[in-house]
Amino acid sequence: MINSIVNANVYIQSVKLAGKLNELELPAVKIKTQETTALGLYGTTEIPSGVEKMEAKFKFNAIYNDAWKHENPHKTCRLTVKSNMQTNAADGVTKNVPVVATISGLFKEIPTGSIKPQERLEAEHLMTVTYYKLEVDKEVVWEIDVFNNIFKHFGKDLLEEFNANQK
């Protein structure tokens, strides 16, 4: 079976951005590690120590006041991405399920674009992400909240003991 996602609707606060974005890059979950070596270990390894900073990129195809007014670099902005994932097999489409990404953070790069003759304007905005939740078919794949020490993968709280030890 092959899964495919070919389109999405993006909402900034509650403003629908249909037709306004050329591309959206969701945050990458990168694990921060510490290199370690010690007596009794034949080699060097890395152990997890947190999550790297997350970013999301948005490529606008023009200037949109209704969307850009929410990009205050001093206030958290929430984006919701809603799409459909289609599963294909030898006999055709077997299933369609919702995929929802919720992203919150601060915009840190807000270019106003570049104008060229007979070409569409493109402005790539960059958000530093403090909250990210990815759901596929209503199952939480990732939920990361930097300020509240939430780090979940497929519903399992990976920081449960870490947080309990600090209470």
For CA atoms 133, 135, 140, 141, the dihedral sign is negative
Task: For residue 129, give the DSSP letter.
Answer: E
Q: What angle do CA 89, 95, 98 make, to 5 degrees?
A: 135
Residue by residue, pLDDT tens for the chain (167 residues) are: 899 988 888 898 888 887 788 888 999 999 999 999 988 888 999 999 999 999 999 888 888 888 888 888 899 999 999 999 999 999 999 999 999 999 999 999 988 887 888 888 888 899 999 999 999 999 999 999 999 999 999 999 999 999 999 88
The residue among 113, 128, 112, 100 whose CA lies nearest residue 11 is: 100
- Report d(CA 159, CA 25) in Å as an integer: 26
The residue among 48, 52, 46 whose CA lies nearest residue 28 is: 52
Take residue 31 and report the two structure tokens written for it.
């694990």
Please give the pLDDT value at position 5: 87
- Residue 146 half-sphere exposure toward CB, CA atoms < 13 A: 17
- Report d(CA 96, CA 4) in Å as an integer: 10
Residue with tokens 């001093």: 74
User: Would you call 112 helix, strand, or coil by DSSP?
Assistant: coil
Please give the pLDDT value at position 20: 84
User: Would you call 65 helix, strand, or coil by DSSP?
Assistant: helix
The domain locations on the chain are 2-164
CATH code given to domain 2-164: 2.30.110
The residue among 132, 158, 156, 128 whose CA lies nearest residue 145 is: 132
Please give the pLDDT value at position 135: 97
Please give the pLDDT value at position 54: 97
